[in-house]
């Protein structure tokens, strides 16, 4: 096994994908932000009426997906065919869970796009709530699922990590 982002001399490269077929690919990433009870309450109020933290974070996440190849040095610029970002406010554990799904018909996968979407959305929640809560923590960002391309289906297994 070796890192594909380096050539034989150890120099960083953007991997050649020009001869790979365009196939339908999808990636789902997930992550969460832990907040105080007060912050959770403010977020939930906004979702119901005005001051919509999650609405702003969703837009930031979608726009973040489109900036992936500008942020991650060796990432290929890709057509983006679909993005959606979902939030679950889990009051019991004082956390907001974010999932980002990205689809493309392209020559390489969109896992970095999905992960960047999750990261940007969670950072935006942080930004909007930081005036009342500086102990928030963004955590558990991982690739949940990935399909399409030569490597086929991947599903994250919790136990693989612990």
The one catalytic residue among 86, 92, 127, 133: 127
**Partners of 105 in beta bridges:** 24
Residue 127 C-alpha from the chain's centroid: 17
Check residue 119 for interaction with its own copies (CB under 8 A).
yes
Which residues in 33-62 contact its own copies (CB under 8 A)? 34, 38, 42, 46, 49-53, 55-56, 58-60, 62
**Partners of 33 in beta bridges:** 96, 138
Task: Find tokens 């489109």 and name the residue.
Answer: 66
Minimal CA–CA distance to 54: which of 74, 68, 67, 35?
Answer: 35
For CA atoms 26, 47, 141, 80, the dihedral sign is positive
Binding mask 129-148 for its own copies (x = CB under 8 A): xxxx-xxxxxxxxxx--x--
Pick from 31, 40, 96, 99: which binds its own copies (CB under 8 A)? Answer: 31
Binding mask 59-98 for its own copies (x = CB under 8 A): xx-xxxxxx-xxxxxxxxxxxxxxxxxx------------
Question: Is 92 a residue of the active site?
Answer: no
Return the active site residues. Answer: 127
């Amino acid at each position: 096994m070796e890192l594909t982002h380096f050539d034989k001399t150890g120099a960083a490269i953007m991997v050649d994908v020009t001869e790979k077929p365009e196939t339908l690919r999808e990636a789902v990433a997930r992550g969460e932000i832990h907040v105080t009870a007060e912050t959770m309450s403010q977020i939930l109020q906004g979702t119901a009426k005005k001051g919509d933290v999650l609405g702003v974070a969703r837009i930031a996440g979608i726009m973040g997906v489109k900036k992936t190849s500008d942020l991650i040095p060796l990432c290929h610029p890709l057509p983006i065919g679909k993005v959606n970002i979902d939030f679950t406010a889990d009051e019991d554990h004082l956390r907001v869970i974010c999932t980002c799904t990205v689809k493309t018909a392209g020559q390489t996968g969109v896992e970095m796009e999905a992960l960047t979407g999750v990261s940007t959305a969670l950072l935006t929640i942080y930004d909007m709530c930081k005036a009342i809560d500086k102990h928030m923590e963004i955590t558990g960002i991982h690739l949940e699922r990935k399909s399409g391309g030569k490597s086929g289906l991947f599903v994250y297994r919790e136990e693989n990590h612990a």
